[in-house]
Chain A
Amino acid sequence: NAGVTQTPKFRILKIGQSMTLQCTQDMNHNYMYWYRQDPGMGLKLIYYSVGAGITDKGEVPNGYNVSRSTTEDFPLRLELAAPSQTSVYFCASSYLESGNTIYFGEGSWLTVV
């Protein structure tokens, strides 16, 4: 039962560097999401996807990009990392039905210095 798997778990980036957070799910879910969680704040949606080839912006998309070439994978790309992107990132997925439950990965801790 892998569920939603994120890599890497921890990463330190220098300002201006780029990186990709990987996310894969094995539940054949249509919907996938990327959130960030900052201390004392609720989760904020960065991007989401309703299926392969379809992505859309969430509440805080600036500085990030995504792609969804397969049902299973939904990588998040950080371009020109900034200290404001220091956060915990969560990937999640859910199935296409009303009242669906959302499943989260274990998170990726990113520090930009």
Chain B
Amino acid sequence: KQEVTQIPAALSVPEGENLVLNCSFTDSAIYNLQWFRQDPGKGLTSLLLIQSSQREQTSGRLNASLDKSSGRSTLYIAASQPGDSATYLCAVKAGSNFGNEKLTFGTGTRLTIIP
């Protein structure tokens, strides 16, 4: 059974610093990996999606990498801002089906950017 782990559970960094969030998974036979942001009291918003054949994806100050063989992904946030404070979750998708019913979520890292 796929297990997704995100360590640490919480992270605080000063504004302006670059930071890396980690995601590890036990079964490397994944179809893709997604990173989500969750603000308090809100739903999840997809940030980046990496296909299993890709090594990384970038969107603005965010860069996500994927190393299937080692079962790891990282989310790099450059020049952090207070508005980046949120919980970040990763999720891996098994198989090649079209839906997302095979998504396995991590428990998230709660990020606080200190002004």
Contacts and interface: CB of A to CB of B under 8 A. Distances in A.
Interface of A: 4, 30-31, 33, 40-43, 45, 48, 50, 56, 58, 90, 92, 94, 96-107
Interface string B86-103: 000101000010111101
Given A33-B100, A42-B105, A101 B49 contact: yes
Interface residues of B, number: 25
Contacts of B45: 104
Contact of B49 (A42, A99, A105, A106): A99
Given A101-B49, A107-B41, 17 more contacts: A30-B99, A31-B99, A31-B101, A33-B100, A42-B4, A42-B106, A43-B89, A43-B91, A90-B44, A92-B43, A94-B99, A99-B32, A99-B51, A100-B99, A100-B100, A102-B100, A103-B46
Interface of B: 4, 31-32, 34, 41-46, 49, 51, 89, 91, 96, 98-101, 103-108
B98 A102 contact: no
Contacts, number: 66
A1 to B, nearest CB: 13
B100 A31 contact: yes
Nearest to A48: B101
Contacts of B44: 43, 90, 92, 104
A107 B44 CA distance: 9
The interface centre, meaning the residue of B44, B99, B103 with most chain A CB atoms within 10 A of its CB, is B99
